[in-house]
Amino acid sequence: MTQTRTSEPGASPLRSGGNKKSADSGAPSILVADDQPDVLEALRFLIKGEGYRAEAVTSPAAVLDAVESRDFDAVVMDLNYTRDTTSGQEGLDLLTRIQNLDGTLPVIVMTAWGSVELAVEAMRRGARDFIQKPWDNARVSAILKTQIELGRALRRGQRLEAENRALRAERFPQLVAESAAMRPVVDMVSRVGPSDANVLITGENGTGKGLLAQTLHSVSLRSARPLVAVNTGGLVEGVFESELFGHVKGAFTDAKSDRVGRFEMADGGTLFLDEISNISLNLQGKLLRALETGEFERVGSSKSRRVDVRIFSATNAHLEAEITQGRFRQDLLFRLNTIEVRLPPLRDRREDIPLLAAHFLRQHASRYRKHFTGFDEGALRALLGHNWPGNVRELDHAVERAVLMAEGETVRAADLGLRAGREGAPRLEEMSLEDVEALLIKKALSRFDGNVSHAANALGLSRSALYRRLQRYGL
């Protein structure tokens, strides 16, 4: 166990780091700081023997200057720089400042045999390891190798997370909201999004409830974790528990293997429950238990599992009325709507229609590799004059149709296919079967105040069949 002091003839203990470059490129670079030249020389020789590059400095100020101007894979530094001092306060203060400059940079402190308590305090303040003087070369080499690998892994992780955040931001549809009617929504996103509160999103079909859930998640502290969406209204009772909580092999006939449910998939992130009002009372109780305790069991298992999820839910129904009529549990509503955000229908935010239309035009033109200069005056009048019963979703589908049908680079009113915008209502004999079906669905939804289950019963359809048609017609 000896401290090596041999040096190469003619070699300088100081080596310039050159221009600032990534610490992940080329040979690892180590910054060594001590006020004793022989210590610096010995460490430089050891570091070079490991295939690393070394830069040596003799004061705290020089350390900070080097860290600010160049990238290093690790810092090896003494805790005392003023002659005849042993308190280590200089080193502890320097350690704090390095951490403030770069929290990913591994710092290894050096201390004498009698100063182990000081080294422990340095570790508490963020040092990754410590070396006792006189040191053992093998231990120093092992510490450097470990800390270089850990530091590089941490930096790669941070870069990957930054890239993922950028990709998530690009993937999320843009929230176009400049009208007065949308200002309360935008304000609520900025105030509530970063919190951990459960959010209930209400509004008519097609107003953008799913988009708002994505936006809230993207500005939350959980944005690095998944946003898992499930259309609860489209789940029949027999598969509801399996979808949300998962199942084990053999739990039922088709359970050929274990399956992870949506709650587990969203652990640490956000679970978005769309069409929450269409869950049966029996299943509402099971959902409530999971929300209250964070615990559930996979179907066919007695083992309780615990998850940490934030809940976003959405509905086009009036839940207070559903509670009054005994179709929705009030205690479940209390769990879901810590904060309620109501999205206005598109007819109440007409200032946003040209902006939304232009946004969808850019999206679909890029998708279909076509070029458009915009909408002509007739098309803009048609867009602003339409009542948009299907809201933003209907507008999106209308613009997509226009992109496919337009023969030139400018969208005309006829390209949009807004039948309701013609003079007078169209006669049945002028309508296609799809137009008639869409019209009947709109009337049924209007008659039952947007309740999908009641509209489906009146139309003689299953709820899932009606959902498919709503999607097809952009309602």
Share of the chain above pLDDT 70, in %: 85
Amino acid at residue number 383: L
Q: Do 7 and 41 contact (CB within 8 A), yes or no?
A: yes
Domain count for the chain: 4
The CATH number linked to 391 is 1.10.8.60
On whether residue 72 sits in a domain, the answer given is: yes
User: What SS3 class is residue 313?
Assistant: strand
Q: Do 367 and 328 contact (CB within 8 A), yes or no?
A: no
pLDDT band at residue 283 using 50, 70 and 90 as cut-offs: confident
Mean pLDDT of the chain: 83
Quick one: 376 and 400 in the same domain? yes
**If you search the block for the tokens 């350690």, which residue do you land on?**
95
Quick one: 218 and 314 in the same domain? yes
pLDDT score for 246: 87
Distance CA 128, CA 113 (A): 18
Over residues 162-174, the mean pLDDT reads 51
The CATH number linked to 95 is 3.40.50.2300
DSSP letters, 49-94, are HTT-EEEEE-SHHHHHHHHHHS--SEEEEES--STT--S-HHHHHH
Over residues 105-133, the mean pLDDT reads 83
The residue range of the domain holding 372 is 352-424
Q: Which residues contact 143 (CB under 8 A, 6 or more apart)?
A: 108, 129, 131
Residue 91: pLDDT above 50?
yes
pLDDT score for 434: 67
pLDDT score for 372: 92
Radius of gyration for the alpha carbons in the chain, expressed in angstroms and rounded? 32
pLDDT score for 88: 77
Q: What are phi and psi of 377, to 5 degrees?
A: -60, -40
On whether residue 334 sits in a domain, the answer given is: yes
Q: What is the pLDDT of residues 377-419, one digit of tens each?
A: 999 999 999 999 899 999 999 999 999 999 889 999 999 988 6
pLDDT score for 171: 47
Over residues 123-141, the mean pLDDT reads 88
pLDDT score for 51: 92
Residue 185: pLDDT above 90?
yes
Share of the chain above pLDDT 90, in %: 42
Q: Do 284 and 328 contact (CB within 8 A), yes or no?
A: yes
Q: What is the pLDDT of residues 222-235, one digit of tens each?
A: 988 999 999 887 77
Residue 164: pLDDT above 60?
no
Quick one: 84 and 122 in the same domain? yes
Residue 324: pLDDT above 70?
yes
Distance CA 262, CA 211 (A): 19
Q: Do 310 and 269 contact (CB within 8 A), yes or no?
A: yes
Which run of H or E residues covers position 32? strand 29-33
Enter the DSSP assignment of 279: S
Convert 319-349 to b/e letters by CB count within 10 Å (16 or more is b).
Answer: beebeeeebbbeebbebbbebebebbbbeeb
Convert 250-275 to b/e letters by CB count within 10 Å (16 or more is b).
Answer: ebeeebeeebebbbbbbbebbbbbbb
- Give the alpha-carbon dihedral of 106, 107, 108, 114, to 10 degrees: -150
Tokens describing residue 446: 């209007």
On whether residue 252 sits in a domain, the answer given is: yes
User: What SS3 class is residue 305?
Assistant: strand
Q: What is the pLDDT of residues 306-320, one digit of tens each?
A: 899 999 999 998 899
The pTM is what? 0.56
Q: What is the pLDDT of residues 5-62, one digit of tens each?
A: 333 333 333 333 334 444 444 789 999 999 889 999 999 999 999 999 999 999 999 9
pLDDT score for 73: 92
Q: Do 155 and 106 contact (CB within 8 A), yes or no?
A: no
On whether residue 166 sits in a domain, the answer given is: no
Over residues 257-281, the mean pLDDT reads 90
pLDDT score for 174: 63
Distance CA 25, CA 316 (A): 54
The CATH number linked to 320 is 3.40.50.300
pLDDT score for 15: 35
On whether residue 1 sits in a domain, the answer given is: no
pLDDT score for 281: 87
pLDDT score for 422: 43
Measuring CA to CA, which residue among 50, 54, 38, 36 is closest to residue 5?
A: 38
Quick one: 51 and 127 in the same domain? yes
Within 125-249, residue ranges assigned H as helices are 137-171, 183-192, 209-218, 237-245
Residue 133: pLDDT above 60?
yes
pLDDT score for 338: 92
- Establish whether the linkage from the previous residue to 194 is cis, with ω within 30° of 0: no
pLDDT score for 360: 93
On whether residue 151 sits in a domain, the answer given is: yes
**If you search the block for the tokens 């000081």, which residue do you land on?**
118
Quick one: 211 and 340 in the same domain? yes
Over residues 362-377, the mean pLDDT reads 91
Quick one: 300 and 154 in the same domain? no
Tokens describing residue 190: 């900025």
Least confident of 41-45, 251-255, 344-348: 251-255
Q: 131: which strand partners?
A: 110
E-assigned strand segments in 211-309: 227-231, 246-247, 259-260, 270-274, 295-297, 304-306
Q: How open is the CA angle 65-66-67, to the nearest 5 degrees?
A: 95
On whether residue 328 sits in a domain, the answer given is: yes
